[in-house]
């Protein structure tokens, strides 16, 4: 569900909480909102599920104004996760996750199966936790239940307001990985609020930087890091941003299709594409355009998997002094190639 | 010796007045809960209104109880309900309001805004939030308000004797005017055991009504 903000403002009394928001949230991607406390991130989220009504402007979901959809119905179609406090203390894990399916009158069996499926998805042992109350869980477990609950009725859109903010750093990393894994499988449109730039870089396909209720810069994560528009953005990014980026961003984000596949290299003297992948029933190696010199062909064996980090890919490239690498799935499926010039930062 | 003798001779009267006393309290109870808890829930959404209502009920509480019974007699007189149980029951209801409204309000207020937002965000209606979230989470505190009101009411109901409502007040006030200590002691023992008995019973109900997920706090 793509979401479009057109000139959206929200005033409390005379003060703007957000002002003139104009931006589009991409379908099936993670968009991160970041900025100092009080800059309007939470307000922006709540404008979408109408916990807060905007003062002016228009918000479109799938091209349709959110005013045209019944408020209650709209909310049941949107997953909402806040800090751990959002779980109902008098409900068991099962009942917490079953809230929206029950509101939607799903049959009992379907709810049960769904809860078990979701607990597996967030890597919780359902037998162990399903009948527990929130106070019997650790902070990390609670937050997993929170994510499972938001996904219960399979919404296309997830709104997450600093969901891992109260979790210790080690468990936060784990939860972020859980979320990335889920996203890989389910491809939801996710709007994620954080004030942690490391988290933003790790999770965000795109990042919107807020200041005083306005968007300072909205760009893909890499562009933001490459071209911070002003001092404020640079400060938000901090000194580790580039390193974080290389560390977190997965190879899969840079896969290109600029390659050919062959099962034999016997009669090749010119490659039309950057990279020629040799593949019989498994990956056998690859040849770069520049590797063919005067009839001599050099075959290379390196590759990366899509879930390796860009930093790892760069390491391999530096080691062999090459500018691109094949991306091969663990089951030997060819995903594409990754190129140096696309990932390297200025 | 005197005292045992008194109990044996007057056991019918004792049972009758005990029954009268219970009657006043048990009649007042449903009204007090309905009005007190209901008002608390209804006004909980309005900051200002809550403040005024709490202010008003705390003024009512400062009226000395004999005076309130007297006022009831005067107000209900024209309807031929001036004496007997009705004024006593109504006075008791009024006395119970403050603790019930106050506890209901503070119970509902103590639920975090985030939790309510979370419920709203999932698409619960106002009614669903009230019955599935607010009331269950408030129940322990509301119940302790009810318990306080009832235990307090057991003592106050004794004043009903003065307006011919009957009840255990008879033994104390008649005993005082006649200088009969065995009567006074009987009244005190009965009132005290009634108070403790109700307190115990209501504590039990309170812990039964506390949702499982909240019990760890006790
Ligand atoms: N219900 C409200 N009433 C008045 N002001 C509010 C309300 N909610 C938020 N604000 C104000 O709006 C601004 C943005 O708040 P918020 O969106 O919560 O910021 P963030 O989530 O980025 O910390 C803040 O200045 C805050 O004080
Ligand atoms: Mg916030």
Pocket mutation for ligand 1, best pick of A8, A9, A11, A12 (most atoms within 8 Å of C-beta):
A12
Place A135 in a pLDDT band, splitting at 50, 70 and 90: very high
Spatial CA neighbour of B115 closest among B133, B101, B103: B133
pLDDT of residue A87: 93
Determine whether the shortest distance from the Cβ of A42 to ligand 1 is under 6 A.
yes
Phi-psi region for residue B163, left (φ > 0), alpha (ψ -120 to 50) or beta? alpha
pLDDT greater at residue A45 or residue B183:
A45
Does the structure show a pLDDT above 80 at B187? yes
Q: Which ligand is nearest to the CA of A44?
A: 1
| Mean pLDDT, rounded, for B136-159 | 89
Q: Containing domain of residue B79, as a range?
A: 3-214
Q: pLDDT tens digit string along B87-114?
A: 888 888 988 888 899 899 989 988 999 9
Alpha-carbon distances of A298 from A314, B91, B217, rounded to whole Å: 20, 101, 71
**Cα gap B153→B150, rounded to integer Å:** 5
Q: Report residue B210's pLDDT band, with 50, 70 and 90 as the boundaries.
A: confident
Whole-number average pLDDT of chain B: 87
Question: Does residue A249 sit in helix, strand or coil?
Answer: coil
What would the pLDDT profile of A156-205 be if each residue is shown by its tens digit? 999 999 999 988 999 999 999 999 999 999 999 999 999 999 999 999 99
Q: Closest to A76 (Cβ–Cβ): which among B112, B123, B133?
A: B123
Q: Which of B115, B118, B137 has the CB atom closest to A80's CB atom?
A: B118
Confidence of residue A345 (pLDDT cuts 50, 70, 90): low
Q: Whose CA is closest to atom 6 on ligand 1?
A: A12
> What pLDDT is stored for residue B218 in this prediction?
44
Number of domains in chain B: 1
Task: Match 């899969």 to its residue by tokens.
Answer: A252
* Structure tokens, A172: 């936060």
Helix (H, G, I), strand (E, B) or coil at B144: helix
> For B115, which of A72, A78, A86 is closest by C-beta distance?
A86
Instruction: Answer whether A189's CB lies under 8 Å from A158's CB.
Output: yes
CB spacing of A99 vs B117 below 8 angstroms: no
Q: Tell me, what DSSP letter sits at residue B130?
A: I
B156-186 confidence digits (pLDDT tens) = 888 888 887 788 888 888 888 888 888 888 8
Contacts 24+ apart (CB under 8 A), A154-157: A155/A76, A155/A77, A155/A78, A155/A79, A155/A188, A156/A1, A156/A77, A156/A188, A156/A189, A157/A1, A157/A3, A157/A48, A157/A61, A157/A77, A157/A78, A157/A79, A157/A188, A157/A189, A157/A190, A157/A191
Question: pLDDT grade, residue B217 (50/70/90)?
Answer: low
pLDDT tens-digit readout, B66-80? 888 788 888 878 787
Share of chain B above pLDDT 70, in %: 98
Residue A19 has pLDDT above 50, yes or no: yes
User: Shortest CB distance from B214 goes to which of A89, A92, A99?
Assistant: A89
| Arithmetic mean of pLDDT, A80-96 | 91
Assess whether the C-beta atom of A46 lies below 6 angstroms from ligand 1: no
How sure is the predictor about A44, in pLDDT bands with cuts at 50, 70 and 90?
very high
Tell me, what CATH number does B72's domain have? Answer: 1.10.3720.10
Best of B142, B213, B215, B218 to disrupt the A interface by mutation (most A CBs within 10 Å)? B213
Q: Kindly tell me if the per-residue pLDDT of B81 is higher than 90.
A: no
Mean pLDDT of A102-117: 96
- Whole-structure pTM value: 0.82
Instruction: Name every chain B residue with its beta carbon within 8 A of the beta carbon of A90.
Output: 136-137, 211-214
Inter-chain contact A89–B112, Cβ cutoff 8 Å? no
Task: Give the separation between CA B143 and CA B149, rounded to whole angstroms.
Answer: 10
The arithmetic mean of pLDDT across residues A66-92, rounded, is 92
Mean pLDDT value of segment B20-29: 90
What is the DSSP secondary-structure string of A86-125? GS-TTS-HHHHHTHHHHHTT--HHHHHHHHHHHHHHTT--
CB contact under 8 A, A51 and B136: no
Determine whether the shortest distance from the Cβ of A39 to ligand 1 is under 6 A: yes
Please tell me the predicted confidence (pLDDT) of residue A245: 84
Name the phi and psi angles at B24, rounded to 5: -60, -45
Res A346 pLDDT > 70: no
Name the E strands within A270-321: 275-279, 283-288, 292-293, 296-297
The CB-side HSE value for A57 (13 A sphere, CA atoms) comes to: 22
Q: A99 and B124 in contact by Cβ < 8 A?
A: yes
Q: What is the ipTM of this complex?
A: 0.82
Q: Answer yes or no: do A51 and B117 touch at CB < 8 A.
A: yes
Q: In chain B, what residues touch A72 (CB-CB under 8 Å)?
A: 123-125
Per-residue model confidence as pLDDT tens digits over A192-235: 999 999 999 999 999 999 999 999 999 999 889 989 999 999 99
pLDDT of residue B216: 61
Residue, of A274 and A119, whose pLDDT is higher: A119
């Amino acid at each position: 569900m793509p979401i479009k903000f057109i000139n959206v403002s929200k005033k409390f009394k005379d003060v703007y909480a957000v002002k003139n928001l104009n931006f589009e949230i991409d379908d099936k991607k993670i968009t991160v909102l970041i900025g100092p406390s009080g800059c309007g991130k939470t307000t922006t989220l709540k404008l979408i599920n109408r916990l807060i009504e905007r003062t002016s402007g228009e918000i479109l979901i799938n091209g349709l104004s959110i005013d045209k959809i019944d408020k209650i119905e709209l909310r049941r179609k949107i997953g909402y996760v806040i800090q751990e406090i959002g779980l109902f203390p008098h409900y068991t894990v099962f009942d917490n996750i079953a809230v929206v399916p029950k509101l939607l009158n799903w049959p009992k069996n379907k709810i049960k199966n769904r809860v078990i499926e979701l607990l597996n998805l967030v890597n919780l042992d359902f037998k162990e936790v399903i009948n527990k109350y929130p106070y019997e869980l650790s902070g990390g477990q609670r937050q997993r239940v929170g994510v499972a609950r938001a996904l219960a009725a399979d919404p296309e859109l997830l709104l997450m307001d600093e969901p891992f903010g109260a979790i210790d750093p080690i468990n936060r990393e784990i939860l972020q990985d859980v979320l990335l894994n889920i996203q890989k499988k389910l491809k939801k449109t996710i709007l994620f609020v954080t004030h942690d730039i490391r988290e933003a870089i790790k999770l965000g396909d795109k990042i919107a930087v807020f200041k005083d209720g306005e968007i300072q810069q909205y760009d893909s994560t890499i562009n933001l890091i490459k071209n911070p528009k002003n001092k404020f953005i640079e400060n938000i990014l901090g000194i580790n941003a580039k390193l974080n980026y290389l560390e977190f961003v997965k190879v899969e984000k840079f896969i290109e299709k600029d390659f050919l596949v062959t099962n034999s290299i016997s009669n090749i003297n010119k490659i039309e594409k950057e990279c020629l992948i040799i593949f019989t029933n498994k990956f056998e190696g690859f040849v770069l355009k520049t590797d063919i010199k005067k009839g001599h062909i050099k075959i290379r064996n390196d590759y990366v998997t899509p879930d390796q980090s860009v930093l790892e890919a760069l390491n391999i490239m530096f080691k062999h002094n090459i500018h691109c690498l094949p991306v091969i799935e663990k089951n030997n499926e060819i995903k594409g190639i990754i190129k140096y010039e696309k990932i390297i930062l200025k | 010796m005197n005292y045992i003798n008194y109990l044996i001779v007057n056991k019918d009267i004792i049972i009758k007045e005990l029954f009268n006393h219970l009657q006043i309290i048990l009649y007042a109870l449903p009204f007090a809960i309905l009005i007190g808890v209901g008002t608390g829930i209804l006004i909980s959404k309005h900051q200002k209104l809550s403040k005024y209502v709490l202010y008003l009920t705390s003024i009512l509480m400062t009226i000395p109880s004999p005076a309130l019974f007297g006022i009831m007699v005067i107000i209900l007189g024209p309807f031929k309900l001036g004496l007997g149980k009705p004024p006593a029951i109504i006075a008791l209801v009024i006395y119970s309001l403050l603790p019930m409204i106050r506890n209901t309000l503070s119970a509902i207020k103590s639920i975090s805004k985030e939790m309510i937002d979370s419920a709203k965000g999932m698409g619960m209606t106002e009614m669903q939030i009230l019955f599935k979230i607010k009331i269950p989470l408030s129940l322990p505190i509301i119940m302790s308000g009810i318990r306080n009101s009832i235990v307090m009411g057991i003592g106050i109901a004794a004043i009903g004797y003065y307006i011919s409502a009957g009840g255990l007040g008879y033994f104390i006030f008649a005993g005082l005017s006649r200088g009969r200590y065995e009567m006074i002691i009987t009244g005190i023992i009965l009132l005290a055991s009634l108070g403790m008995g109700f307190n115990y019973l209501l504590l039990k109900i309170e812990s039964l009504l506390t949702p499982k997920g909240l019990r760890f706090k006790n």
